[in-house]
Amino acid sequence: MRFCLDTDVFIQAHRSYYAFDIVPGFWDALIEWAKIGLICSPIPIYDELVPKVSPYDSLALWSKDNKALLFSDVDEDTVKSYSEIANTAVQLYEPQHYQLFLDVADSWVVAYAHAKNLAVVTMESKKNEETNPSGGKVRGRIKIPNICEHLDVRCINTYSFLRELGGKFKW
């Protein structure tokens, strides 16, 4: 199985549990896994990573240094999947929530994974979805694990991802 990493995998690791100065092996492993084609992210993830942090932030610099290796352009298959995901979101969710979802990289990470038959890796948690009785649409923000489930796209968190790949890092 190959994996498509969401923005929060990079940001949360960088800001806390796998910071560059604490567990550099995590970042080395990502590079190695990208080199052999086990992981990737669509370019909208890169676009979220770089502007969200200072241009001199270590995550921004690392992302820039590894852009060609880790971040893939959106192709025709991904655009087709994006259209399917957009249609699913419109059918299931309230307008203010599907509009927000379609405006951020979350929708592209799901579309890329869907198009390439990859598992999505995210730190977002699945939520119980409640339907609005008056409109019949699901209430609340669209979470990646929920939309993945609706589209039969496998979705796991960083820890499950590392366990599957046997990620053990030297301190």
Q: What share of the chain is helix, strand, coil (3-state, %, to 5)?
A: 55, 10, 35
Taking only the tens place, the pLDDT of each residue in 110-146 is: 999 999 999 999 999 887 777 776 777 787 889 999 9
Predicted TM-score (pTM) of this structure: 0.92
Residue that wins the pLDDT comparison between 94 and 31: 31
pLDDT at residue number 54: 66
Taking only the tens place, the pLDDT of each residue in 45-61 is: 999 999 755 667 899 99
High-pLDDT (> 90) share of the chain, %: 78
pLDDT at residue number 157: 97
